[in-house]
Amino acid sequence: MAGCRPSSPYFLIMLAAAVVAFPAVPSAAGEADVVGVEMHPDGSGTYSFDVTVRHADAGWDHYADAWEVLTPDGKTVLATRTLLHPHENEQPFTRSLSGVRIPDGVTEVIVRAHDKVHGYGGAEMRVTVAR
């Protein structure tokens, strides 16, 4: 096109239109999935969790940044394990959390993962509480 140089007004108008029409979209990393859970009684009325998460971490702006243990109805968070950095070269990865108190009468928990772009929504796992 004649007159469509990077410094031309036509080019700048087309560039602005493209930015508006095609805003940035989340990367293809997708949601964080819980792919494994091991739960062990600590002996003091609390439990330890070893949770394996899979997520195509894509740097500091899009990575799995936490996992949680919830009651079976999904309404009460019993524990959160914060993940402080991307795991781009370690997939899937396992992280632990101990001292998790599970209320009497709760026979199952949900473990879910969170990522910085999508929040929650990936694969969760339900785990039976061994008492």
* CA distance from start to end of the chain: 74
DSSP string, 15-79: HHHHHHHS-----TT---EEEEEEEEE-SSSEEEEEEEEE----STTSSEEEEEEE-TTS--EEE
Domain definitions of the chain by residue range: 33-128
- The tens place of each residue's pLDDT in the chain, 131 residues long, gives 455 555 555 544 444 444 333 333 344 568 999 999 999 999 888 999 999 999 988 889 889 899 999 999 999 999 999 999 988 788 899 999 999 999 999 999 999 999 999 999 999 999 999 88
Task: Please state whether the predicted TM-score (pTM) of the whole model is above 0.85.
Answer: no
**Overall fold of domain 33-128:** Immunoglobulin-like (2.60.40)
